Amino acid sequence: MKGYPPSVVAALGGLDVEEVAQRCGVADLDAVPIRRAPRWMVRAWRGDVAAMTLPFGIFVRADCLTGDRTRLANTVQHELVHVRQWKELGVLRFLWRYLADYLQGRRRGLGHTEAYRQISFEQEARRIAGH
């Protein structure tokens, strides 16, 4: 499946593209590719993960791409925050902090889902995306 620019996805959800760009801190939304996540990637995800951001784009589950447009727009907005985080910190620092936050939660006795929810990058993305 061909990539879809986030500005198009945001518009599909009825969101103002310029407002999304400003809120998420990503100046050029069209430069961020959105692609259907390959099956092997979705199988590796735990729980109800709808999307994942990597340095080279946002990967979204097929059912989320073709499902409710408002949910898709909100998911993309969340992932755009991660795009900014990756760019600001670079690959190694982003991964180090993300994993360190997760492991700190696990050491405190949190289960997988709660440790994931306590990752500072995830908290910021949820706050900015409004969920």
| pLDDT tens per residue across span 22-35 | 999 998 888 898 99
Domain ranges of the chain: 6-129
Alpha carbon 71 to its chain's center? 13
Structure-model confidence comparison of residues 10 and 39, the more confident one? 39
**CA nearest 12: which of 81, 83, 60?**
60
Structure-model confidence comparison of residues 6 and 18, the more confident one? 18
Structure-model confidence comparison of residues 20 and 131, the more confident one? 20
Specify the pLDDT at position 1. Answer: 45
CB distance 101 to 40 below 8 Å: no
Provide the whole-model pTM: 0.91
Per-residue pLDDT band for 114 (boundaries 50, 70, 90) equals: very high
Average pLDDT, the chain: 91
| pLDDT tens per residue across span 41-81 | 999 997 789 999 999 999 999 999 888 888 899 999 999 99
Residues 6+ apart with CB under 8 A from 49: 42, 61
d(CA 99, CA 41): 18
